[in-house]
Amino acid sequence: MRIHSLPIQLVNQIAAGEVVERPSSVVKELVENCFDAGAQQIIIDIEQGGARLIKIRDDGCGIDKEDLPLALSRHATSKIASLQDLEQVASMGFRGEALPSISSVARLTLISRTADAECAWSVCADGTEKNFDPQPDPHPLGTTVDVQDLFYNTPARRKFLKAEKTEFAHIETLIKRMALSRFDISFVLTHNQKEVLNLRQAHEASAQEQRVADICGPEFIKNSVTIDYSASGLQLSGWVGLPTFSRSQQDMQFFYVNGRLVKDKLVSHAVKQAYQDVLYHGRHPVFVLYLTLDPTLVDVNAHPAKTEVRFREGRLVHDFLFSALHRSLADVRPGQTVTVLEAETLEYEPSSQTSFSMGGSLNRQSSYNPRPAQQSSLPYSVGESIKAYAKLYQETPAYSTEDLTPDPAPVTPPLGYAIAHLHNIYILAETATGIILVDTHAAHERVTYERLKQQHAEGAIPSQPLLLPIKLNVTAAEADLAEQEQAFFTQLGFEITRSGPEALILRASPALLRNVDKEQLVRDVLADLAVNGVSQRIEEHTNSILASMACHGSIRAHRRLSIDEMNALLRDMEQTERIGQCNHGRPTWIELSTQDLDKFFLRGQ
């Protein structure tokens, strides 16, 4: 067949296949246009899950009468004008495809009025980009886009739509996610003339927290840490959930880049690394996070639906995110606030009348100021880690009891003072607001582990020459990467040299990883560097061994502790990072407040 041009409507229908997957896709494109128009209020009316009607009205700047036909034409936009603009996109939409694509698969009416116009003007479109005849309309300042009978002319696409309830659920979830990105805009969502969401503008911090609570649930705010971290031209803010407040699914993870909700492998990897030794196996963290950076450092034109981005400095962004989250979680200390857990967070369901509190979140009102920590002695130091590893199964020395009696203090310490050692496993302590139960082994394991990591980080990683060097056959690209990252490998205790276009020689490796498959580890690190620009595999293996050392070197269950030994552990816990969980992600302590105890015995009722 001879080459020929496709009809404009068919061209737009093909484009619609990329940007209009279902009704929620239409809503996303139109609401983003409202954002760019400077709207302060957006009203979304939906009927029959969006298949019958999607009507979105805003109070933004509006569109001039002369520009209405252009707005409904392919590759026409007010948001970019040159390649330079495309390289630093600051708006949400910019492709100029949404309106003509939507009009090619639905009956679309566009009504808009600018501030200096005597009236609004209305046009209808069918995807042909022809026969526009603007008509006057009494519409107020702003724009309304009325989309009816989605996929009426593409029945094959319409058959793929799910049930009305399912399609609206996608729309509701989308609006909630978009509402988290713009606290300065109010949102009203209705379905079949029934109001489902009504979110007012939230300019104050308390109002913003309330909106987050309305969308993610009040327990999320109660069990989260506020983040506001800046470095190297990057800023990260928002809320990150405590490790003990986790989910079985990744359904409460919201990450925004310059206000745009995205899903990015690099971001996911950084978050996973930050939670790597505090999250229980199989659980997923929760967060609402906002990354702000120079638009020239991020490519938002990487996906037709603009749900993915590419960072020009991927390693910088990864390290920044990891550092910010890792530090924020580490800075949480016991007793700094009471956090209430949902039953879904744990593997058991407590009584509906009982609120269990877990160590973790931040409370800036705590007035307790303990003395510099009297850290108890460890059974080994990191400098002797290799020798100690062979002695892991020996009995741990008694917990140091030197100078353990606390000085009289006007305020009770956050974890209080020990009363008893229950079943030789749990410490019972009394606080100013209730009682604390501590899993002795889990808590001491975290204390020991954090100290080992700190001591290991303060010294150079010892390298051990291999008796027989290992030759690795790799690709030319991997060999080039190994050469480029030679300083990185050397810093981690590896000695790697290139012996040919597609060959490497491994002559030394970290002494602590002597029992690890070194060849596979090097290959995995190269793969990480190629994909993510970073790799934490060596650190993960090192931490795994340190965690094993901490586990076997900690107080064992059923070993009786004295009151002084228990108080020593409580004071150490108050000074230890990530103390809310052991190395395996299990909680180390819980609190029952006096109010909880009163409920048990119906006091005051």
Q: What is the mean pLDDT of residues 500-515?
A: 83
Residue 584 CA to residue 281 CA, distance in Å, equals 7
What per-residue string of b and e applies to 277-293 under the rule 16 or more CB within 10 Å gives b? bbbbeebbbbbbbbbeb
Checking if the pLDDT of 164 tops 90, the result is yes
What pLDDT, on a 0 to 100 scale, did the predictor assign at position 546? 63
Confidence of residue 57 (pLDDT cuts 50, 70, 90): very high
Could you give all domains of the chain from N- to C-terminal order, each with its CATH number? 8-199 (3.30.565.10), 205-330 (3.30.230.10), 343-456+555-600 (3.30.1540.20), 461-550 (3.30.1370.100)
Higher pLDDT, 309 or 123: 123
pLDDT digits (tens, 9 = 90+) for 200-226: 999 999 999 999 999 999 999 988 999
**Mean pLDDT score of the chain:** 81
Share of the chain above pLDDT 70, in %: 79
Confidence of residue 437 (pLDDT cuts 50, 70, 90): very high
Question: 307 vs 69, 261, 329, 372, 476, CA distance in Å?
Answer: 28, 7, 28, 48, 33
User: Do the Cβ atoms of 561 and 429 come closer than 8 Å?
Assistant: no
pLDDT digits (tens, 9 = 90+) for 512-554: 666 668 888 788 878 877 776 666 666 666 666 566 656 665 6
Higher pLDDT, 270 or 371: 270
**499 CB neighbour count, 10 Å cutoff:** 13
Q: What are phi and psi of 24, to 5 degrees?
A: -65, -30
In degrees, rounded to 5, the angle at the alpha carbon of residue 536 between the alpha carbons of residues 530 and 539 is 145
Closest CA to 411 of 336, 347, 360: 336
What pLDDT, on a 0 to 100 scale, did the predictor assign at position 26? 94
Closest CA to 127 of 147, 102, 150: 102
Residue 22 CA to residue 20 CA, distance in Å, equals 6
User: Do the Cβ atoms of 600 and 359 come closer than 8 Å?
Assistant: no
| Burial class (CB within 10 angstroms; exposed 0-12, middle 13-18, buried 19+) of 454 | exposed
Checking if the pLDDT of 475 tops 70, the result is yes
Checking if the pLDDT of 119 tops 90, the result is yes
User: Do the Cβ atoms of 187 and 44 come closer than 8 Å?
Assistant: yes
What pLDDT, on a 0 to 100 scale, did the predictor assign at position 461? 59
Closest CA to 404 of 422, 393, 418: 418
Instruction: Write out the two tokens for 184.
Output: 């300065």
Confidence of residue 383 (pLDDT cuts 50, 70, 90): very low
What pLDDT, on a 0 to 100 scale, did the predictor assign at position 340? 34
Residue keyed to tokens 């495809």: 97
In degrees, rounded to 5, the angle at the alpha carbon of residue 444 between the alpha carbons of residues 220 and 581 is 15
What is the DSSP code string of 501-569?
TTEEEEEEEEGGGTTS-HHHHHHHHHHHHHHHS---HHHHHHHHHHHHHHHHTSPPTT----HHHHHHH
Residue keyed to tokens 């009696």: 405
Look at residue 436 and give its three-state secondary structure: strand
pLDDT digits (tens, 9 = 90+) for 578-600: 888 887 788 899 889 999 899 88
User: Do the Cβ atoms of 278 and 585 come closer than 8 Å?
Assistant: yes
Confidence of residue 354 (pLDDT cuts 50, 70, 90): very low
What pLDDT, on a 0 to 100 scale, did the predictor assign at position 171? 97
Residue 276: which residues within 8 A CB-CB, separation 6 or more? 536, 540, 543
Highest mean pLDDT among 7-21, 350-364, 493-507 belongs to 493-507
Higher pLDDT, 563 or 374: 563
Higher pLDDT, 88 or 444: 444
User: Do the Cβ atoms of 240 and 259 come closer than 8 Å?
Assistant: no
Half-sphere exposure of residue 471: CA atoms within 13 angstroms, side-chain side: 6
Checking if the pLDDT of 17 tops 80, the result is no
Checking if the pLDDT of 509 tops 60, the result is yes
Checking if the pLDDT of 265 tops 60, the result is yes
What pLDDT, on a 0 to 100 scale, did the predictor assign at position 7? 85
